[in-house]
Structure 1
Amino acid sequence: MNKEQLFEQIKLKRSFLCVGLDTDILKIPRFLNETSDPIFAFNKEIIDATQDLCVAYKPNLAFYESQGVAGWISLEKTVRYIREKYPEQFIIADAKRGDIGNTSNLYARAFFDHMDFDAVTVAPYMGEDSIKPFMTYLDRWVIVLALTSNKGAADFQYLKNAETGEQLFESVLKTSQTWGTTDNMMYVVGATKAEKLEEIRELVPDHFLLVPGVGAQGGSLEEVAKFGMNDMCGLLVNSSRQIIYASDGEDFAEKARNEAINVQLEMEELLLEADLM
């Protein structure tokens, strides 16, 4: 999926919501444990209940890898289900990979050739050669970690270069733009760092931003849109726990839909205010 197609989906659905499929076997409704594949059964119901309200899904691979081979099977079934039933959806592998070139090439092959994701999150610490292999795929995306919302972000991401005065996350944004384009590269910017979005937009005005942290983590959607939106929206705002764990009963999918509707309606209002529909 290219940038224009993604923007068309945003306008069509009046939403820039990404639903995070952080599916924890210990948190899903217990009655699903009676099924042959509880994780996929949960994901399927969540997807069916929210697909018209969002433009993207983001499985966090840790929740699947923790289940070993069974988890990978659940993940593959989830991606295949979205591809076959809702092909307009943008699917992100939240994998945070990043390694030397030949290893990254194999990661890219796994996520793009074998599993058919649209995008994968990557860590830029090892530099250009660790990210370039992901960019050899047409209409696939690399989503570079830029400024995260966790407490430990302060350990490195705000460190200043003594010569340039740039903070590390600023150097990541500036340097990485020479590796890709606005058509194949996005950036992760945590919603709890909304005050930094205006500064980040000055550095990367035309790139899409994947913004986690809205909802259960306390990020403000209004602030994210105020500082982060551009003339193609330029935002995919992720919400995971607030939506998928709205209920632990048999009504879990219905409650998830209700939560997604609330987010979508707010997004629709923000898009209208920005004159993007």
Structure 2
Amino acid sequence: PEHLKNDADAIFKFNKAIIDATAPYCVAYKPNLAFYECFGIEGWTALEKTIKYLKQNYPDQFIIADAKRGDIGNTSAMYARSFFEHLDVDAITVAPYMGEDSISPFYGYEGKWVIVLGLTSNKGSHDFQLTEDADGTPLYQNVMSKVSSWGTSDNTMFVVGATQGKMFEEVRRVVPDKFLLVPGVGAQGGSLEEVARYGMTDDCGLLVNSSRGIIYASTGEDFATVAGQKAKELQVQMEQLLADKGII
């Protein structure tokens, strides 16, 4: 918002206002690292302050570093150390393209979660993820199946974009008991109803994310109030879907 742009601590003040307005309606926050790293040390400092603020004031909130890391083992070990020791987040998103040794260092932390890119919400996801092998199995299914053998239902989630709709049925055949982190509801046009219909398990199994549709709902001085309203609207929809499933 314009009224914050010249503030020396604009990013953190924006985040703090968003958090205070939306915390009653959500269970997790997912800062996207690129939007902090682009500001250099100032952005990283704002990220650290945001995480500390969450831990001090909303300790039950699950914090995901949306970093999409993944590199050879010794490099991944440093990434894991950075996010799980220094920042002390609860989870990190990772890219599985380089294989097991690029992900295994993240599994070395008790109580932390590894969230692996599975079937993503972007347009280019079809370039590789839907490529089929000789048996007709899409690449994303082979990836999910393989990664599932590295982790457990207590430390591994998969990213599956809300825009994939009915394909959640296929995803659930491959990973019936894994939590799914589901971006793409809201600004990207994903359907919450379809996600619930095809992806929800008997005890939910979904962590649904809406970002731009909430934090950018207003660019005025009322941005936090409007963000809270949008978060509540989505929470009410989710609550109804849980009730329809008989979970609550």
* Smaller-chain TM-score bracket: over 0.9
The one-letter code matched in structure 2 to 1:176 is: V
Q: Match of 1:88, SS? A: coil
Query: Residue 135 of structure 1 aligns with which residue?
Result: 107
The one-letter code matched in structure 2 to 1:228 is: G
CA-to-partner distance for each residue in 1:213-254, whole Å, 9 max, x for gaps?
000110000010011111221111110111001111111000
Query: Residue 203 of structure 1 aligns with which residue?
Result: 174
User: How far 1:151 moved relative to its partner?
Assistant: 1.2
Query: Residue 228 of structure 2 aligns with which residue?
Result: 257
Matched, 1:237 2:208: yes
CA distance in 2 between partners of 1:66 and 1:169 (Å)? 30
Query: Residue 95 of structure 1 aligns with which residue?
Result: 67
Query: Residue 105 of structure 1 aligns with which residue?
Result: 77
CA-to-partner distance for each residue in 1:151-192, whole Å, 9 max, x for gaps?
111111111112x32110010011111110000000000000
CA distance in 2 between partners of 1:100 and 1:251 (Å)? 45
Query: Residue 57 of structure 2 aligns with which residue?
Result: 85
CA distance in 2 between partners of 1:104 and 1:40 (Å)? 28
Query: Residue 42 of structure 1 aligns with which residue?
Result: 14
CA distance in 1 between partners of 2:179 and 2:196 (Å)? 12
Q: RMSD of the alignment, in Å?
A: 0.7
Q: 2:123 aligns with which of 131, 142, 151?
A: 151
CA distance in 1 between partners of 2:98 and 2:178 (Å)? 22
Q: 1:218 aligns with which of 169, 189, 194?
A: 189
The one-letter code matched in structure 1 to 2:247 is: L
Query: Residue 153 of structure 2 aligns with which residue?
Result: 182
Q: 2:96 aligns with which of 124, 143, 148?
A: 124
CA distance in 1 between partners of 2:242 and 2:126 (Å)? 32
Q: Match of 1:183, SS? A: coil
Q: TM-score scaled to structure 1, two decimals?
A: 0.88
CA distance in 2 between partners of 1:84 and 1:34 (Å)? 27
Deviates most, 115-124 or 153-162: 153-162
Indicate the percent of aligned positions where both proteins have the same amino acid. Answer: 63
Query: Residue 86 of structure 2 aligns with which residue?
Result: 114
Matched, 1:192 2:175: no
Q: TM-score scaled to structure 2, two decimals?
A: 0.98
User: How far 1:30 moved relative to its partner?
Assistant: 1.2
CA distance in 1 between partners of 2:230 and 2:118 (Å)? 28
Structure 2's unaligned 5+ residue stretches are none
CA distance in 2 between partners of 1:267 and 1:61 (Å)? 27
CA distance in 2 between partners of 1:107 and 1:75 (Å)? 16
CA distance in 1 between partners of 2:181 and 2:188 (Å)? 15
Aligned residues: 248
Moved over 4 A (4+): none
The one-letter code matched in structure 1 to 2:43 is: G
Q: Match of 2:25, SS? A: coil
User: How far 1:195 moved relative to its partner?
Assistant: 1.4
Q: Match of 1:59, SS? A: coil
Query: Residue 5 of structure 2 aligns with which residue?
Result: 33
The one-letter code matched in structure 1 to 2:123 is: K
CA distance in 1 between partners of 2:129 and 2:28 (Å)? 27
Structure 1's unaligned 5+ residue stretches are 1-28
